[in-house]
Amino acid sequence: MARKTMIISAFKNIKTSMHIRRYVVWLMFWVVLVLVGISLGIWQWERADDKRELLARKNAAPMLFDPTHTPLDGAKVTLEGHYLPSYTLYLDNRTLNGRLGVAVITPFVDTNDQRWLIQRGFLETGVSRSEPSAATPTNLVTIKGEWEAAGNQGPIYGPNREGSRVQQLSLDEWSETVGEFEYSGWVHAQHGAGVLASWWQPNTIAPSRHIGYAFQWWGLSVAAFVVMLIGGHQLLKDSKNVRDCND
């Protein structure tokens, strides 16, 4: 009889211990979620600060006329010189107002004999995969646009170039034909001879969106904290009931 009582008592202690472990695991799981949400919210808040600084730098970027140094990202650049039409390539799969086409990319040599890459604008092609063709001035021209520094544009699936079409802008596509460019980046032309309809917009998320994301993460953290408290309270209640039964 005494042995049976000991077995029953041990079984009850095991059940109590299991409830305690469940409570601890529950708390650890939700605490991690709360901390992750808080951290991601802080990260988005810091991203908003970074974007504000970036926009401020772009707004303060100078207007440059035939610059002989690397422009600041977002600088308004005016260039005088000649296009190199025979080296034109086309940035594939661009859209403008629901139309499918390409962006015309042509190297340019300014009056200081510096080479630039010019994104000239949108050329509609539709779904046709035939080689695009854009008329290009051969005389001395003046163009104006916004400088964008080259950066990481994400992964490429397959070769970057197919005929005269490219998936991503890369100076490497012209290195063997035109040579090295003086500056790492390109000009998105907005005015001047040979400039087509503008499709490009700076890839900058507004700071307000990052602020919104931050509050979403913090809201999820609050929700997770509430769930943690309610669930934890229920687990403690169950554990107490088990102890009361054991007594």
User: What pLDDT score was predicted for residue 204?
Assistant: 64
User: What pLDDT score was predicted for residue 10?
Assistant: 44
Distance, CA of 153 to CA of 167 (rounded, Å) = 10
Q: Is residue 199 part of a domain?
A: no
Rg of the chain over Cα atoms, rounded to whole angstroms, equals 31
Range with the largest mean pLDDT of 31-45, 142-156, 228-242: 31-45
**Residue located via tokens 């969106």:** 209
Residue 184 · residue 150 · CB < 8 Å = yes
Distance, CA of 127 to CA of 169 (rounded, Å) = 21
User: What pLDDT score was predicted for residue 120?
Assistant: 97
3-class DSSP state of 55: helix
Q: Is residue 65 part of a domain?
A: no
| Beta strand 89-96 pairing with 76-83 | unpaired
The answer to whether the pTM exceeds 0.85 is: no
pLDDT-based confidence at residue 147 (cuts at 50, 70, 90): very high
Express each pLDDT in 180-205 by its tens digit: 899 999 999 999 999 999 998 876 67
Tally of domains within the chain: 2
Number of H helices, E strands in the chain: 2, 9
Q: Is residue 64 part of a domain?
A: no
Express each pLDDT in 60-101 by its tens digit: 777 899 999 999 888 999 999 999 999 999 999 999 999 999
| Domain identity same for 143 and 166 | yes
* Chain mean position to CA 144: 27
User: What pLDDT score was predicted for residue 59?
Assistant: 74
Half-sphere exposure for 178 (CA within 13 Å, toward CB): 25
| Domain identity same for 213 and 126 | no
Distance, CA of 203 to CA of 104 (rounded, Å) = 19
| Domain identity same for 84 and 167 | yes
Among 4-18, 72-86, 131-145, 161-175, the least confident range: 4-18
Please tell me which residue, 15 or 36, carries the higher pLDDT value.
Answer: 36
| Domain identity same for 177 and 130 | yes
The pLDDT > 90 percentage for the chain reads 55
User: What pLDDT score was predicted for residue 8?
Assistant: 44
| Domain identity same for 108 and 46 | no
**Residue located via tokens 């601890």:** 24
Q: Is the pLDDT of residue 238 over 70?
A: no
- The pair of three-digit structure tokens given for residue 187, joined into one six-digit string: 């000009």
Domain hosting residue 232, numbered range: 2-56+206-246
Please tell me which residue, 52 or 246, carries the higher pLDDT value.
Answer: 52
42-76: b (≥16 Cβ within 10 Å) or e? eebbebbeebeeeeeebeebeebeebeeebebbbb
Q: Is the pLDDT of residue 213 over 80?
A: yes
| Domain identity same for 83 and 186 | yes
Query: What number of other Cβ atoms are within 10 A of residue 86's Cβ?
Result: 10
Q: Which of 169, 151, 168 is nearest to 54 (CA)?
A: 151
Please tell me which residue, 240 or 133, carries the higher pLDDT value.
Answer: 133
Residue 177 · residue 87 · CB < 8 Å = yes
3-class DSSP state of 185: strand
Distance in Å from the first CA to the final CA of the chain: 18
| Domain identity same for 84 and 181 | yes
Q: Is residue 68 part of a domain?
A: no
Query: What number of other Cβ atoms are within 10 A of residue 192's Cβ?
Result: 17
